[in-house]
Amino acid sequence: MHSSPLLRLTRLGGLSLASAIAGTIALAAAPSDAAAERRTSGLEDQPAVRHRMLLVAKRFELTPMFESTINADFRHIVGGGLKLEYHLSDMLSFGAVGVFSTSLDTGLVGKISPTLEDSVDDMTREPSDDEFLQHLNEMPLHGAAYVSLTPWYGKLAAFGKAFVNFDFYFQAGVSFASLKSNCDSSICDDDHPGTVDDTDPDNPIQPDLNPNNDPPLNDGSRVGLYLGGGIHVFLNEFLALDLTVRDYAFSDNPSGADFDANLYVDDNDSRFMHHLFMGAGLSIMLPTKVKRTP
Amino acid sequence: MRRTPQALIIALAAGAASLLGTQASFAQDGDDEIEVDPEEGTGEGGEEPEIEIEEPPEGDLEADTASLEAESSAADEAVKVDAKVGDYKVSWQDIVTVIRKPFLKIRRWDLMPMLATTMNDNMVRHVSAGAQLSYYLTDVLSVGVEGQYYSKSFREPFDLVARQARRLPTINQYNFSGALNFHYVPVYGKFAILDKNIVTWETYFTAGLGITQSEVVPRDPRFPGFTNLLITPNVGASMRFFLFKWMTVNVGIRDYLFVDKFEPVNRDAMTNATAEDAKENADSAFINNVMFQLGISFWLPPTFEYTTFR
């Protein structure tokens, strides 16, 4: 039998008829189809987390940061800078990072340098200490502009006490760097590396085939690719610890020496190289108030 | 057709709920997030209020997690329905907001085949294959053993230094290592991928003691190398991602510390020519061999049962 729900409702006093009718229509209309869909989940299209704090969406992120190379060959690049990012949504953002740095010799340089000749001797293939050190370059400024994707977010409990939110993000974009090398003219005194100097046609000067006195050609501006990945660990609603691994990839020749073994230094000795950095910063999210998802 | 009376009851409940106010919904306005697993539902709106939850298949962590989420949803449904009764109120305090741990490790074995590679040596890169076997004494503490076999390859600076600075680097390769380790799990968490799938994970720290065999790579192949057996403490941190009741994926960083013995700088036909002499006069240096590790854990027994109430 299919009795009318409306008739039963009229026997109940004190109820809001409109609410009951609306509820009845909505719910009683379904059963005829319900059997077939009994095992259909009503949550299929629902988000994984409700009432989630949108810790990054529609917010500016300002991050004073520290950054250092990982496993550099000749010189560690260590510096501080700023990251500025705007989060279009809780997954997509764009931003830029810039870092001013100083350079520190690696342990490898510390081992090589003391064993080299104290003074220049062009009769040997071995560089002097000055020739070796002055060919190495530095990176006083570097940075990137990027698009960032934050596909993972979550929360963690540390020692069962501290519960914090976090997210993982991945970045890709364009990197830039300003490289600097200071080779004194008394050291890098070959003005025609690898070529014949025929300013005096009667007495052409053959290349000396000594790369140690060639200009290093490893300074100036570089543009390349940028990849990064990191984690925000939110200390509260507007402060987050920001840990990042960044790869600034561009053409470089850190040693400033002959790479392709043609016995002189030219632009072909530069190659596309990855400059891997690890950074840590404190992100300030603006505005400081967060919204929640429904 | 036969469901209509039940539908009426639900309709009444809905109407009554609309009259009684929305205290329950206000209760949701707290700080807690509510996780919903789309794989598990509570039936259509016109169904009976009780929720039928099928037992998840054995060894299916995702289904298990979904089951727990569904129980929370059942409690949610109970709040709406029971509001009309009046003599029994279910409040949000009665609802379990922290679900049971989705993965138990206590009294289980963790067998983890793994690959690892050097992170901090710009002269030689070691890649290792190995395995780790651990037994969890509690859910956060385990003891285990590990073993690794190493393979080496020279990196770009090894050749560059020889060619550009005319210096031959002094290099040791690692052959194998083994250790007894303790693991402690202080951090656990969960994250959502693309706002859809929830994955649980944890971080564990490792400390152990073992041995490493290193071998000198002679600068001049005319002279023999020699091997060293080195006492090797290690410390590290790893993350474990739970995929199934019987399988997890682990990534981590481990620092193996030892004092290695290197080929002496002065070596010719008259000095340190033999392996014994070279080892006797070897140069020692403290080494941090930092390695990135990736492994897949297989858990034994492959399933577990909860022994405590929710």
Asked if ipTM goes beyond 0.85, one says no
Q: Strands (DSSP E) along B10-108, which ranges?
A: 34-35
- Cross-chain Cβ contact B11/A27 below 8 Å: yes
Mean pLDDT computed over B147-166: 93
Structure tokens that stand for B188 in this block: 């656990």
- Set out the domains of chain B in order of their start, with CATH numbers: 4-94 (no CATH), 109-300 (2.40.160.20)
Structure tokens that stand for A193 in this block: 């590396």
Could you read off the pLDDT of B231-253 as tens digits, one per residue? 999 999 999 999 999 999 999 99
Chain A touched by B5 (CB under 8 Å): yes
The alpha-carbon gap from A26 to the nearest alpha carbon of chain B, in Å, equals 8
Report the pLDDT value the prediction gives residue B188, as an integer from 0 to 100.
87
Q: What is the DSSP string of chain A?
A: ----HHHHHHT-TTS-HHHHHHHHHHHHTSHHHHTTTTT--TTTTS-SEES-EESSTT-EEEEEEEEEESS-SSEEEEEEEEEEEEESSSSEEEEEEEEEEEEEE-HHHHHHGGGSBSS--TTSSSPBHHHHHHH--EEEEEEEEEEEEEEEEEEEEETTTEEEEEEEEEEEEEEEEEEE----TTTS--SSTTS-B-SSTTSPBPP---GGGS-----EEEEEEEEEEEEEEESSSSEEEEEEEEEEEEEE-TT-S-SSSSSS--GGG-EEEEEEEEEEEEEEEESS--EE--
Q: Is it the case that residue B93 has pLDDT exceeding 70? A: no
Could you read off the pLDDT of B178-225 as tens digits, one per residue? 999 999 999 888 888 887 788 899 999 999 999 999 999 999 999 999
Cβ proximity of B198 and B165 under 8 Å: no
Nearest CA in chain A to B19: A16
Report the pLDDT value the prediction gives residue B197, as an integer from 0 to 100.
82
- Cross-chain Cβ contact A258/B189 below 8 Å: no
Closest CB to B160 among A19, A30, A255: A255
Mean pLDDT computed over A107-130: 89
For A:127-156, CB contacts with B below 8 A are 127, 132, 151-156
Per-domain boundaries in chain A: 56-182+215-292
Q: Kindly state the DSSP code that residue B168 receives in the 8-state scheme.
A: P
Cβ contacts from A onto B, under 8 A: 206
Dist. CA A291–CA A287, nearest whole Å? 10
Report the pLDDT value the prediction gives residue B61, as an integer from 0 to 100.
60
Mean pLDDT computed over B60-70: 61
Could you read off the pLDDT of A5-32 as tens digits, one per residue? 433 333 333 444 444 445 444 444 444 4
CATH of the domain spanning A56-182+215-292, picked from 2.20.25.90, 2.40.160.20, 3.10.20.600, 3.30.420.40: 2.40.160.20
Report the pLDDT value the prediction gives residue A162, as an integer from 0 to 100.
79
Residue A86 pLDDT level (bands cut at 50, 70, 90): very high
Query: Could you tell me which residue, A201 or B298, shows the higher pLDDT?
Result: B298
Could you read off the pLDDT of B213-232 as tens digits, one per residue? 999 999 999 999 999 999 99
Report the pLDDT value the prediction gives residue A226, as an integer from 0 to 100.
98
Dist. CA A243–CA A153, nearest whole Å? 15
- Cross-chain Cβ contact B164/A257 below 8 Å: yes
Side chain identity at residue B66, one-letter code? A
Q: Please give the distance of CA A235 from its chain centroid, rounded to a whole number.
A: 21
- Cross-chain Cβ contact A159/B1 below 8 Å: no
Enumerate the residues of chain A whose CB falls inside 8 A of the CB of residue B157: 73, 108
Q: Is it the case that residue B4 has pLDDT exceeding 60? A: no
